[in-house]
A = this chain, B = another copy of it.
Amino acid sequence: MDEPRKPGTSRPVQQAHCNNCSLSTLCLPVSLGLTDIDRLDTIISKSSPLKKGALLFDQGQAFSSIFAVRAGSVKTYTVTPDGDEQITGFYFPGELIGLSGIDSGQYPNAARVLETTTVCNIPFARLDDLAGELPELRRQIMRTMSREIRDDQQMLLLLSKKTAEQRLATFLIRLSERFRIRGYSRTRFRLSMSRNEIANYLGLAIETVSRLFTRFQKSGLIQVEGKEIDITDISQLYLQSGECPNLQQTT
């Protein structure tokens, strides 16, 4: 669990190239023309692989950049006055981290890497300038922020109304969908976060999560083997989740 001296500084590295990047349809370049993508490229720097536990930025730190996940996964969390953390999100390739820092000028939460991960560092001041010149970039940033708001509000509903069972089912269903969109199997995947982190995110005790995994397995919904998950009955899991039949779904 060692951390880079300057968290999030992603030591000077190879240029990222959005136009080569397989994530360009999920990430900021969506609907940008080729020349615009090149301009975006010039302000972005790709980090070297960050080791598990590395800090992208810390809570309270001055806001300077947003980050796009390239490979791996990241959690964001808030630390409460009495020292325990509340995970506010998990982020996968193509997703943007740090948007909550724009307003106050400091990150209201911390971002930590869950496994070996590479990210793109996008200095916000420059991105903002560019957003002034490229209307599609401006729109894409706003769409991304809008989606984050929507997703967070869906989490409010989960935490406020759902049972433990529904929460975990929902969690798995949503992960499944995100993996599917990224071209991975929607039924077999590896959880990069610990049981503890899942529990924390879902507002449950770790023991509850553990018991539910066991129960889901006994019911034939999933096969669990440590962090490996195999969803064996996705439609049943979906029913358990109490989710609406998705009207529209993007990222």
Interface residues of A (CB under 8 A from B): 60, 78, 80-82, 84, 86, 88-89, 99-106, 108-109, 128, 131-132, 135, 138-139, 141-150, 152-157, 159-161, 200, 202-203, 242-245, 247-248, 250
Beyond the given A86-B160, A159-B160, A160-B203, please list 12 additional residue pairs across the A-B interface where CB-CB is below 8 A. Answer: A81-B243, A88-B153, A89-B153, A102-B142, A103-B146, A104-B150, A131-B138, A132-B135, A142-B142, A149-B149, A155-B156, A156-B156
- CB pair B103–A143 under 8 Å, yes or no, is yes
Find A152's partner among B102, B105, B147, B153 (CB 8 Å cutoff): B153
Q: Considering the complex, give the chain B residue whose CB is closest to the CB of A159.
A: B159
Chain B residues, CB < 8 A from A156: 86, 88, 152, 155-156, 159
7 contacts between A and B (CB under 8 A): A78-B157, A84-B161, A88-B156, A104-B250, A108-B154, A149-B152, A159-B203
Find A81's partner among B81, B153, B244, B248 (CB 8 Å cutoff): B244
| Smallest CB separation, A135 vs chain B (Å) | 5
- CB pair A146–B101 under 8 Å, yes or no, is yes
In the complex the two chains form, what is the Cα distance from A128 to B102 in whole Å? 19
Q: Considering the complex, give the chain B residue whose CB is closest to the CB of A109.
A: B153
| Smallest CB separation, A122 vs chain B (Å) | 14
- CB pair A103–B243 under 8 Å, yes or no, is no
Chain B residues, CB < 8 A from A106: 247-248
- CB pair B155–A81 under 8 Å, yes or no, is no
